[in-house]
Amino acid sequence: MDAATTRGPPADSAAIYRRLLGYIGPYRGFAVIAVVGMAFEAAAAGVFTALMQPLVDETFVARNPAAALWVPLAIVALFTVRGLATFATSYSIARIGRGVVGTLRRQLMGRLMVLPSRWFDRESNPAIVQRLTWFPDQVTQASSDAIKVIVTDSLTLLALLVVMLMQSVKVTLTMLVMGPAIVAIVAIVGRRYRRISGRVQDSMLDLARIGEEAVAAQQLVKLHGAADREGARFAEAVERTQRLQVKIEATRATSSALVQWIAAVALALIVWLAGREAMAGRLAAGEFVALMTAMMAMLPSLKRITQVQSMIQRGVAAADAMFRLLDTPAENDRGTRTLARAAGRIVFEDVTLRYDASRQPALDEVSFVAEPGRVTAIVGRSGSGKSSLVRLLPRFYEPDAGRILLDGVPLADYRLADLRRQIAFVGQDTMLFDDTVANNIAYAAQHEVPREAILAAAESANAMDFIRHLPQGLDTPVGERGVLLSGGQRQRIAIARAILRDAPILVLDEATSALDNESERLIQQALERVMRDRTTLVIAHRLSTIEHADQVLVLDGGRIVERGTHAELVAAGGLYAQLHRMQFRDA
């Protein structure tokens, strides 16, 4: 649950690789084809260089007419086989890779949807979305590239080595001396690369976060003339990313250059040795050409192998972030009690909620009873804990002390899905999906909803009068987050959603935004219709709502400081009476 579970130092790479390999399981067949294909590619490289010897010694030196014919034919045959092998390899890797990416994405999304609200409070949305979209690709690309290099290039090196040994053992062994030097350099460079690559990923997330914030708040930015400030903040992040990316490129370039230089020195050594062998009559021209061709063919493979470390590290860093997300504990859903339809009696007993241990509690020993068929209004200043209180009912947050009972049973004893099905929740910020009006209303129901039911719900929510004027009526798209509608219209759609849900508990977190009298009246009427025969908890800012409530709870600093009916509280002359004079507007 801790933020540290999704950040922090990278875990053991071997464990991460083992876990990734597990994802290939269902594609074992393709994996075998891919490896066989790679082996063919490597063997083809060996055979091709071996052909250099008869080409030179038989065709050119001995002028053998048979060789002049079979060598070119062999080359065609060889590349036919190699082409088929390359295709089989690439195709199989694509199948495995895309399959694994899909599985990872589905798993990540599945996990995200059951993570507790506290987790989302700590993560930025772009960072979360990036783990869903970019990371699986990054991981799969890096691992399949790495595997391809490891298998194909090491087998190619092996095949070429065999060819070389066939020509001259002495010359070939000289080359092996250079091996350890190359390995050492690769190891050193790899460690540095891994460190920087983690930082590059963090800085990319920063970039996305800052960019998204500025884009989302573009009207605010313009209004405050803060374009320069946002630009500067972004530029700073850009520069940091840029610096790190150049650094990582420099690390990679240094490593390639060094390894290639070492290979060149090895080449010089071998040429020198080969010259001496030739003079001693132990090395024919064809054998020398085959040796040289093999050595040249080794260079690209060697170069790629030095880069494999960086590929692996890139993949491991992304896989690590992804697996941490997959391993983040889900919401606690250990309750076993089933619940078809609750009567709706809600009891809070000394409930305390802290978002943050270092701050004072958002709710402090709150106790009350909400009876079925009754309306409980919750009032209080901004930040007094009203929304926090109602968010405990669907268990978006867990109280730190005290208990909440529904029909006499603690909330945690119910199955989470059963509990949540009992609640229709119209939140403070109306959340709409980028879909049609009708589908947004029907979102409340788990199953297919008849059109008439949607229409009836919209009618009861007094939403039809504006929906009718939309270009496509109920089938009008509402835009991303409902931006194409006004605040009051969004709210009425949310109320229609709640009506359609027909749950025994209704929670309304009234928006404080000022609505015109007409809209207020319409919403008020709609609400009264939904409140009937349910347990209603309403965070109220409108006098008309509060006056009709059976009990009013007055929150201040997370505590219930007063309770009673509207009339009693006004008469008592306390905080409520004060709020009443200053805040509540009559509809």
Q: Which residue has the tokens 């504990």?
A: 329
Q: Does 386 bind ligand ATP (CB under 6 A)?
A: yes
* Count of beta carbons in the 10 Å neighbourhood of residue 10: 17
- Would strands 409-410 and 401-406 be described as parallel, antiparallel, or unpaired? antiparallel
Closest CA to 518 of 541, 492, 536: 492
Least distance between ligand ATP and beta carbon 356 (Å): 6
Please report the sign of the dihedral spanned by the C-alpha atoms of residue 181, residue 182, residue 183, residue 187: positive
Q: Does 121 bind ligand ATP (CB under 6 A)?
A: yes
Q: Give CA 231 to chain center in angstroms.
A: 26
The residue (of 228 and 356) whose beta carbon lies closer to ligand ATP is: 356
Q: Does 245 bind Mg ion (CB under 5 A)?
A: no
Q: Does 355 bind Mg ion (CB under 5 A)?
A: no
Backbone φ and ψ for 181, nearest 5 degrees, come out as: -60, -45
Are the beta carbons of 509 and 470 closer than 8 angstroms? Answer: no
HSE value, Cβ hemisphere, 13 Å, CA-based, for 494: 26
CA angle 144, 149, 151 (to 5 degrees): 95
Q: Does 286 bind ligand ATP (CB under 6 A)?
A: no
Q: Does 234 bind ligand ATP (CB under 6 A)?
A: no
The residue (of 90 and 387) whose beta carbon lies closer to Mg ion is: 387
Q: Which of 97, 198, 385, 482 binds ligand ATP (CB under 6 A)?
A: 385
Closest CA to 59 of 293, 290, 292, 286: 286
Q: Which residues pair with 508 in a beta bridge?
A: 426, 538
Which one of ligand ATP, Mg ion, none is in contact with 248 (Cβ closer than 5 to 8 A by kind)?
none
The residue (of 423 and 478) whose beta carbon lies closer to ligand ATP is: 423
Are the beta carbons of 200 and 245 closer than 8 angstroms? Answer: yes
Q: Which of 157, 263, 311, 362 binds ligand ATP (CB under 6 A)?
A: 362
Which one of ligand ATP, Mg ion, none is in contact with 379 (Cβ closer than 5 to 8 A by kind)?
none
What does the buried/exposed string (b/e) look like for 265-299 if buried means 16 or more CB atoms within 10 Å of the residue's CB? ebbeebeebbeebeeeeebbebbbbbbbbbbebbe
Q: Number of residues in contact with ligand ATP, rule: CB under 6 A?
A: 13
Q: Which of 64, 117, 260, 387 binds Mg ion (CB under 5 A)?
A: 387
Q: Does 545 bind ligand ATP (CB under 6 A)?
A: no
Q: Does 143 bind ligand ATP (CB under 6 A)?
A: no
SS3 content of the chain, % helix, strand, coil (to 5): 65, 10, 25
Q: Does 152 bind ligand ATP (CB under 6 A)?
A: no
> Which of the ranges 288-296, 340-348, 376-384, 543-551 carries the binding residues for ligand ATP, by CB under 6 A?
376-384
> Which of the ranges 37-45, 265-273, 377-385, 485-493 carries the binding residues for ligand ATP, by CB under 6 A?
377-385
Which one of Mg ion, ligand ATP, none is in contact with 355 (Cβ closer than 5 to 8 A by kind)?
ligand ATP
Least distance between ligand ATP and beta carbon 384 (Å): 4
Q: Does 388 bind ligand ATP (CB under 6 A)?
A: yes
List interacting residues with Mg ion (CB under 5 A): 387, 428
- Interface residue list for ligand ATP (CB under 6 A): 121, 355-356, 362, 380, 382-388, 428
